[in-house]
Amino acid sequence: MDFIIQIEKSELEERNLRATKLVKETKLLNIARLAMMLVDLYGLDEQFKRLKKKEGQEVELWLPSLNGIITFILTSDRNKFDCKVEKAKNPVSTIELKIKEKDILKILSNIIRSKDNIFGLLKVAKLYILGKVKIKGSMIAAILLVRSLMIGKNRVYKDKF
């Protein structure tokens, strides 16, 4: 009788682990889709023109709390902006966000809603100084990616409803 109970407990634990992993993967996919949608709808073309020299390079966004990586492919054309939930083949830079799972969307939305100027970059620099963001590899590629994601200068944020 004890043998049967142990099998049921291990199956239940395995199912719970698979469900937790699925939820984390879904969160990563939603973050990637959100980034693509926001850039497609509200992205500004002049931000992407700076990426001409870095065209085709890959930048990883590693989220340890979700145990996953989002790979952004740098492009100078906003319409070709792409990101995937997978490890990059040849990353030029890796951005690690050391924040709790519940704070990921809050911090990413603050960065995305920032204006692409010195004050917007100061928000990111604050996270870097506090140790919540760690950049391995090309700092310039990471900053250019973040600047291309900042859509705060769009007219949507200027209009008062």
Give, for all 161 residues of the chain, the pLDDT tens digit: 555 555 577 788 888 888 888 988 999 999 999 888 888 888 888 888 888 888 889 999 999 999 999 999 998 888 888 889 999 999 999 999 999 989 998 888 888 888 888 888 888 899 999 999 999 999 999 998 998 888 877 776 665 55
Domain around 48: 2-157
- Structure tokens belonging to residue 82: 């792409």
List the CATH number of the domain containing 70: 3.30.1050.10
Map tokens 């705060």 to a residue. Answer: 152
Q: How far, in Å, CA of 84 to CA of 73, rounded?
A: 9
What pLDDT was estimated at residue 10?
Answer: 79
Amino acid in the structure at residue 66: L
Residue 82's φ and ψ, nearest 5 degrees, are -145, 145
What pLDDT was estimated at residue 42?
Answer: 82
For residue 33, give the 3-state DSSP assignment: helix
Number of domains in the chain: 1
Q: How far, in Å, CA of 28 to CA of 49, rounded?
A: 27
What pLDDT was estimated at residue 114?
Answer: 86
